[in-house]
Amino acid sequence: MSQEKYQDSQLYKIRHSAAHIMAQAVLDYYPDTKFTIGPPVENGFYYDFELTQPITLEDLEKIEKRMRQIIAGHHAFEKTVVSAEKARDVFAEQPYKLELIEGLEKGGLDEYGNPLDVKPEISLYKSDTFVDLCRGPHVENTKQINPSAIKLMSIAGAYWRGDENNKMLTRIYGTAWEKPDELKQYLQMLEEAKKRDHRKLGKELEIFMFDDEVGPGLPLWMPNGGIIIEELENLAKEMEEDAGYSRVRTPNLTKEDLFIRSGHLPYYAESMYPPMELEGVKYYVKPMNCPMHHKIFGARPRSYRELPIRLAEYGTCYRYEKSGELFGLMRVRSMQMNDAHIYCAEEQFEQEFMGVIDLYKKYFELFGIEKYVMRLSLHAKEGLGKKYVDNQRLWLKTEDMVRKAMVNGNVPFVEVANEAAFYGPKIDVQIWSAIGREFTLATNQVDFAVPERFDLKFVNKNGAEEIPLCIHRAPLSTHERMVGFLIEHYAGAFPVWLSPEQVRVIPITDAQNDYAQEIEKALRANRVRVSADLNSDRMNSKIRAAQLFKVPYMIVVGDNEKQNRQISVRVRNGTQKNNIGLDAFIAEITGKIKSRSSEL
């Protein structure tokens, strides 16, 4: 469901109303509480409070019980539009509400302090004894909320308006659904998600780690993670070579002037690390690769005969995410991006843009991603010159070019306003994992502005100079986000081609250690990632250890296998093949690795 449809849905109204009901219940128990905002979010709602005493998860039970009592009272939600003066009277003892009222009255700011397109009305919603400063919408009456379909989930800290310079508040998360069965399904999905949490599995499977001395949001890839990254990069290189890309490399550091010229600095300054000054010149660690790729394109004169030119790089970029926004591999400060820039003439645009979309589809098929949504992210006229490059004509033209390409390619998409890149429209891709968790992964962006700033040109068929269009694309996102997604998607049980360890050889006793080593050597000679477990543990303990590391194949050898020069194979999915030839197994596993099969 798109954000616009969600905001118009009954489910959105239920969750928004549940947030108000939760705030009322909190105030019933803690009357000195200062309350702030309580919006619906993707799978529920939250409300932020300044409490005079800490609360615990046990306290959520009594708050939830009080919510059900309030719902059972069948209270109407009544809207009243008031003046700023009247609103200040109502919330005279609520400083956060007074700050919001001031923003609405003077600057047209929303609850997060962001400018609104138009100056809004000031409205209150009252239900039972609770009155809140709110735009709505809400259900008409609490009887439209099923008390058995709500649940309070967790407590977290949150800075007021997301600014770490502001006071830390207590955030209570809840979820609400139209039917109890939907709540039950959601809770079951969450339980499965806990088992698949990439942070938990990443540690257990020794894929990545973080260290305080290195710094937050700066992942360290362990050997197993390094293997996964190499496999993904090999995949991208093969795909991109077949599609006619050339690979380049660029430094992690560059002069400030480059980002001033590209236009990135005014838009991204808050997300960039502070500059360092050497010999009177400011340098930045790069937050994106594009300006350097533009330099490579512009290094010599170009002819239309060379176009399209496709430059690809797994470049490492650095962005300063606020510490409260960091989340495992999904939100980091150091990232290796599956980046590329395609320079093309306007008449080549549709074919090149849809070539990237086709690349997405190939990756989705390979990884078994069955559900995805492509979102055409557009500009907002009100943001021209601030959030977006100030050229309405080119915005409308390039948005229509993307729209027509997607329609002609018969690719379903939804349109979302005010989410474009500063230099042009883009297709953002939302994907869902095997258990239905949503992830933002890839992007395909049009750039009509920056090539001109770098004086990029080519000589067209008529001998005249022309500015190329640039397509920014990252089908495999970053290594960090992609690996995080794949850990959860596969629950750590990667297909054999992607598994850090593909085979573990397990001798039943020490008497078979020499044969186990022969098998290990033969598999390694065929580029299979293998280890022989020669420690003194019992066979069942060795098998259990291999299962915990989710190794796809376990070769178990005893006296019988050694004597007959055969092997017995225990597969991760529980099947077993006894007394088979090693050569046959090598042929089978290498075939699956080469084809990147998802089957065991």
Q: What's the pLDDT score for residue 116?
A: 60
Check pLDDT > 70 for residue 110. no
Q: What's the pLDDT score for residue 3?
A: 59
- Please report which confidence band the pLDDT of residue 270 belongs to, taking 50, 70 and 90 as the band edges: confident
Asked which of 305-314, 343-352, 380-389 is least confident by mean pLDDT, the reply is 380-389
Look up the domain containing 119 and give its range: 3-178
**Is the residue at 113 inside a domain?**
yes
Which DSSP symbol is given to 138? -
- Please report which confidence band the pLDDT of residue 450 belongs to, taking 50, 70 and 90 as the band edges: confident
Q: Which of 490, 523, 539 is the last residue of a domain?
A: 490
Q: What's the pLDDT score for residue 267?
A: 73
> What is the CATH number for 248?
3.30.930.10
Q: What is the pLDDT of residues 143-190, one digit of tens each?
A: 999 999 999 999 999 999 888 889 999 999 999 999 999 999 999 999
User: If you average pLDDT over residues 305-316, what whole number do you get?
Assistant: 95
Alpha carbon distance 42, 1 (integer Å): 10
Q: Which of 178, 212, 233 is the last residue of a domain?
A: 178
Q: What's the pLDDT score for residue 112?
A: 56
Q: Are residues 486 and 516 in the same domain?
A: no
Which residue, among 446, 356, 469, has the nearest Cα to 399 in the 3D structure? Answer: 446
Q: Are residues 140 and 210 in the same domain?
A: no
Q: Are residues 477 and 517 in the same domain?
A: no
Alpha carbon distance 329, 283 (integer Å): 27
| In contact, 473 and 340? CB cutoff 8 Å | yes
Q: Are residues 320 and 381 in the same domain?
A: yes
- Please report which confidence band the pLDDT of residue 449 belongs to, taking 50, 70 and 90 as the band edges: confident
Alpha carbon distance 135, 555 (integer Å): 63
- Please report which confidence band the pLDDT of residue 4 belongs to, taking 50, 70 and 90 as the band edges: low
CA distances from 414 to 138, 162, 362 (A): 25, 29, 21
Q: What is the pLDDT of residues 463-491, one digit of tens each?
A: 999 999 999 999 999 999 999 999 999 99
Check pLDDT > 90 for residue 439. no
Measured from the Cβ of residue 450, the count of other Cβ atoms closer than 10 Å reads 23
Nearby residues of 436 by Cβ (< 8 Å), 6 or more positions away:
189, 371
Which DSSP symbol is given to 508? S
| In contact, 91 and 36? CB cutoff 8 Å | no
**Is the residue at 496 inside a domain?**
no
Q: Which of 466, 490, 514 is the last residue of a domain?
A: 490
Q: What's the pLDDT score for residue 205?
A: 97
**Is the residue at 498 inside a domain?**
no
Q: Are residues 147 and 211 in the same domain?
A: no
Q: Are residues 32 and 82 in the same domain?
A: yes
- Please report which confidence band the pLDDT of residue 271 belongs to, taking 50, 70 and 90 as the band edges: confident
> What is the CATH number for 561?
3.40.50.800
Alpha carbon distance 251, 258 (integer Å): 13
Q: Are residues 308 and 232 in the same domain?
A: yes
Q: Are residues 538 and 576 in the same domain?
A: yes
* Helix then strand then coil, % of the chain, to nearest 5: 40, 25, 35
Q: What's the pLDDT score for residue 113?
A: 58
User: If you average pLDDT over residues 330-342, what whole number do you get?
Assistant: 94
Alpha carbon distance 6, 9 (integer Å): 5
Q: Are residues 282 and 407 in the same domain?
A: yes
User: If you average pLDDT over residues 371-380, what whole number do you get?
Assistant: 89
Helices (H) and strands (E) in the chain, counts: 19, 28
**Is the residue at 191 inside a domain?**
no
**Is the residue at 192 inside a domain?**
no
- Per the structure, the count of domains in the chain is 3
**Is the residue at 185 inside a domain?**
no
Measured from the Cβ of residue 327, the count of other Cβ atoms closer than 10 Å reads 13
Residue with the two structure tokens 């010159």: 385
- Please report which confidence band the pLDDT of residue 569 belongs to, taking 50, 70 and 90 as the band edges: very high
Q: Are residues 357 and 438 in the same domain?
A: yes
Measured from the Cβ of residue 267, the count of other Cβ atoms closer than 10 Å reads 17
Which residue, among 448, 461, 287, 443, has the nearest Cα to 372 in the 3D structure? Answer: 443
> What is the CATH number for 82?
3.30.980.10
Q: What's the pLDDT score for residue 540?
A: 93
Max CA pair span of the chain:
93
- SS3 state at 500: coil
Nearby residues of 477 by Cβ (< 8 Å), 6 or more positions away:
337, 338, 441, 442, 443, 485
Q: What's the pLDDT score for residue 520?
A: 97
Q: What is the pLDDT of residues 489-521, one digit of tens each?
A: 999 999 999 999 999 999 999 999 999 999 999
Check pLDDT > 60 for residue 99. yes
- Please report which confidence band the pLDDT of residue 111 belongs to, taking 50, 70 and 90 as the band edges: low
Residue with the two structure tokens 């502001």: 166
Nearby residues of 298 by Cβ (< 8 Å), 6 or more positions away:
454, 455, 456
Q: Are residues 485 and 517 in the same domain?
A: no
Token pair in block for residue 502: 């593909």
- Please report which confidence band the pLDDT of residue 390 belongs to, taking 50, 70 and 90 as the band edges: confident
Q: Which of the two residues, 105 and 191, has the higher pLDDT score?
A: 191
Q: Are residues 454 and 515 in the same domain?
A: no
Q: What is the pLDDT of residues 398-414, one digit of tens each?
A: 899 989 999 999 999 98
CA distances from 100 to 30, 35, 107, 349, 546 (A): 22, 12, 10, 46, 56
Alpha carbon distance 292, 133 (integer Å): 48
Torsion of CA 441, 444, 450, 454, to 10 degrees: 100
